[in-house]
C-alpha cells in the first residue's frame, strides 16, 4: 500500500510485538497526518471491539485475518508498496532463515548494499526509513502468515521446500500451500522464482508462474568442504543461495569465501559443546517431523534425542521408523505430542533402552547425561512446536544449553 493512501486516516495497529512497534514508529514519522492507535491481544478478549471506529487497520502477521472486519493492510504490503530497492523474498517450511542469511552473506561479500529483513533480520519498515535509493537490496524472510494476504511480488522469490507446518493457523495443508505460493501470484516475466526441485509442488508451481523459474543449481560451484554447516538439508540451503548468487553474476570465489565465513545460526544444529564424551547439539528450530529427520540424518551416531511439544496432529510414522533404524537408545519425550510419538514407536515395536516422559528440561538433560553412550550425539530436535511448555523455540534452546553446561561437571 502506498503511503499517500494513509494520509489523514485513523489507523489502528493490531498487534504490538516487534512488527507492530516498527509500524508505529515508521508511520508516525512517514505519515504525520495520520492518527495512530494500538491494540494487542494482551489487552484482553475484547481488544478488537473498537476497530470499526478506524478507517484502516495495520495487521501484524500473527493476527488471523478473519478477526479484522474493517479494511486493512500489513507491514509487509506497506514495505513492498513504498521501497525503491530490489526485494529477494525467501520462504519455505524450513531453512528459510539460513538460506536468507546465506544470500545476505554472499551479497555483502560481493559489495552490494544488502539488508536482511523480516523474521530473521530487522523489521522491514525499520530499514525502509534508512533507504538511500534503488541500489538497496532487501533479503526478506517471508512466513506463510505474511504471504497469506500479500499484494505484491518480490523481484526474486526463493522457496526452499514444502511440507506440513502451521496447520492450526491456516486450517489445513491446502490453505497453507495457497499462502506459500502467493509469493509469486503477482509475478511478471521480469521476476524470478528460485526453487528446490526436490519437491513436486514446487516443480509444478515453476511451470505455472509467469516468473522465470530457476531450479537450485544441481552442483555447487565450489568445494562442499567449504560449508561450515551440518546436514544435507544445509547443503540444499547453500545451493539455493548460490543459485541467487548466479543470477547476480557473483563469482564462484566470492561465493565460496562468503559461505566459508558463514556462522551457523543459533538453535539450528548448533554445537553446545562436548561434555563427558557426549556431543550436545541444539536444534530447537526443528518443530516438524521432517526437519527433525534431517537433523538425525546429519550424524552417524545419535545416542539421545529430545522430542515432543505442542500437538498439531503431525504424523510421526516416518520419524519413528528412522529412530528405530538408527537405534537411538535414549529418548526424552515432552508433552503433549510426546504421547503421539510414544504410540508411533510402539506401533513399529521399537522400545528405546532408556525412555523418560517429562515436562522439565532440567530433568531431561540430567537423564541424558546418565544414560547416553560416550562418543555419540545428544540432540534437542523436538519435531513439534514449543508452545505446550515453552514460550518459543529460542527459550527451549536456551534452557537446553543452560542445563547441558550446568550439569557437565555434576553428573
339-394 pLDDT per residue, tens? 999 999 999 999 999 999 999 999 999 999 999 999 999 999 999 999 999 999 99
- 209 annotated among ligand-binding-site residues: no
> What residues does CATH 3.40.50.720 cover in the chain?
3-73
Mean pLDDT confidence for 128-157: 94
SS3 call for 347: helix
pLDDT band at 169 (very low <50, low <70, confident <90, very high): low
Percentage of the chain beyond pLDDT 90 is: 91
Q: How many CA atoms lie within 13 A of 85 on its CB side?
A: 25
Instruction: Check if CATH label 2.70.98.10 holds for domain 270-406.
Output: no
- 44 annotated among ligand-binding-site residues: no
Q: Which CATH architecture has domain 3-73?
A: 3-Layer(aba) Sandwich (3.40)
Is the pLDDT at 249 greater than 90, yes or no? yes
- What pLDDT, on the 0 to 100 scale, is given for residue 171? 67
- 337 annotated among ligand-binding-site residues: no
User: Which CATH fold would you assign to the domain 80-260?
Assistant: 3.40.1190
> What residues does CATH 3.40.1190.10 cover in the chain?
80-260
Alpha-carbon distance values, 107 to 259, 269, 311 (Å): 11, 24, 39
- 374 annotated among ligand-binding-site residues: no
- What pLDDT, on the 0 to 100 scale, is given for residue 154? 98
Mean pLDDT confidence for 307-317: 95
| Angle of CA points 381, 384, 385, to nearest 5° | 105
- 94 annotated among ligand-binding-site residues: yes
> What residues does CATH 3.90.190.20 cover in the chain?
270-406
Is the pLDDT at 411 greater than 60, yes or no? no
Is the pLDDT at 315 greater than 80, yes or no? yes
Mean pLDDT confidence for 213-223: 94
- What pLDDT, on the 0 to 100 scale, is given for residue 133? 86
Mean pLDDT confidence for 258-280: 95
pLDDT band at 132 (very low <50, low <70, confident <90, very high): confident
What's the whole-number average pLDDT of the chain? 95
SS3 call for 71: coil
Is the pLDDT at 410 greater than 70, yes or no? no
* 321-340 pLDDT, tens digit each: 999 999 999 999 999 999 99
Mean pLDDT confidence for 134-161: 96
- 359 annotated among ligand-binding-site residues: no
Question: Which residues face 355 on adjacent strands?
Answer: 331
- 97 annotated among ligand-binding-site residues: yes
This prediction's pTM: 0.92
- What pLDDT, on the 0 to 100 scale, is given for residue 269? 95
- Whose CA is closest to 91, among 181, 155, 215, 188? 181
- What pLDDT, on the 0 to 100 scale, is given for residue 167? 54
Give the full edge-to-edge strand order of the sheet including 354-357: 270-275, 278-282, 377-380, 302-308, 330-334, 354-357
Is the pLDDT at 229 greater than 70, yes or no? yes
Amino acid at each position: 500500500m502506498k503511503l499517500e493512501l494513509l494520509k489523514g486516516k485513523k489507523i489502528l495497529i493490531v498487534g504490538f510485538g516487534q512488527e507492530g512497534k516498527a509500524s508505529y514508529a515508521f508511520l508516525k514519522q512517514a505519515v504525520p497526518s495520520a492518527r495512530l492507535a494500538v491494540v494487542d491481544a494482551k489487552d484482553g478478549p475484547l481488544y478488537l471491539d473498537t476497530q470499526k471506529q478506524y478507517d484502516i487497520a495495520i495487521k501484524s502477521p500473527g493476527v488471523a485475518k478473519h478477526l479484522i472486519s474493517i479494511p486493512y493492510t500489513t507491514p509487509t504490503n506497506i514495505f513492498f508498496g513504498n521501497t525503491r530497492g530490489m526485494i529477494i523474498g525467501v520462504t519455505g517450511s524450513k531453512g528459510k532463515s539460513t538460506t536468507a542469511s546465506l544470500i545476505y552473506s554472499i551479497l555483502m561479500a560481493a559489495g552490494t548494499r544488502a539488508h536482511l529483513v523480516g523474521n530473521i533480520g530487522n523489521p522491514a519498515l525499520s530499514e525502509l526509513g534508512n533507504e538511500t535509493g534503488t541500489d538497496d537490496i532487501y533479503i526478506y524472510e517471508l512466513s506463510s502468515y505474511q504471504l497469506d494476504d500479500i499484494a505484491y511480488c518480490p523481484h526474486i522469490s526463493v522457496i526452499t521446500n514444502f511440507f506440513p507446518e502451521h496447520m492450526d493457523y491456516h486450517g489445513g495443508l491446502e490453505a497453507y500451500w495457497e499462502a506459500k505460493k502467493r509469493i509469486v501470484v503477482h509475478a511478471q516475466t521480469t521476476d524470478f522464482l528460485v526453487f528446490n526441485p526436490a519437491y513436486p509442488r514446487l516443480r509444478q508451481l515453476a511451470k505455472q508462474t509467469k516468473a522465470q523459474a530457476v531450479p537450485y543449481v544441481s552442483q555447487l560451484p565450489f568445494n562442499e568442504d567449504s560449508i561450515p554447516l551440518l546436514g544435507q538439508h544445509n547443503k540444499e540451503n547453500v545451493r539455493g543461495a548460490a543459485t541467487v548468487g548466479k543470477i547476480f553474476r557473483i563469482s564462484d570465489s566470492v561465493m565460496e569465501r562468503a559461505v566459508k565465513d558463514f556462522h551457523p545460526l543459533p538453535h539450528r544444529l548448533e554445537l553446545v559443546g562436548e561434555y563427558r564424551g557426549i556431543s550436545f547439539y541444539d536444534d530447537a528450530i526443528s518443530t516438524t517431523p521432517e526437519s527433525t529427520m534431517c537433523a538425525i540424518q546429519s550424524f552417524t551416531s545419535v545416542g539421545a534425542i529430545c522430542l515432543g511439544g505442542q500437538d498439531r496432529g503431525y504424523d510421526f510414522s516416518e520419524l519413528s521408523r528412522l529412530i528405530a533404524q538408527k537405534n537411538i537408545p535414549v529418548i526424552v519425550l515432552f508433552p503433549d505430542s510426546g504421547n503421539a510419538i510414544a504410540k508411533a514407536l510402539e506401533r513399529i515395536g521399537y522400545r528405546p533402552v532408556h525412555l523418560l516422559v517429562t515436562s522439565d528440561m532440567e530433568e531431561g538433560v540430567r537423564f541424558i547425561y546418565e544414560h547416553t553412550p560416550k562418543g555419540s550425539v545428544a540432540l534437542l530436535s523436538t519435531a513439534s512446536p514449543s508452545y505446550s511448555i515453552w514460550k518459543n523455540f529460542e527459550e527451549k534452546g536456551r534452557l537446553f544449553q543452560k542445563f547441558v553446561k550446568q550439569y557437565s561437571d555434576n553428573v
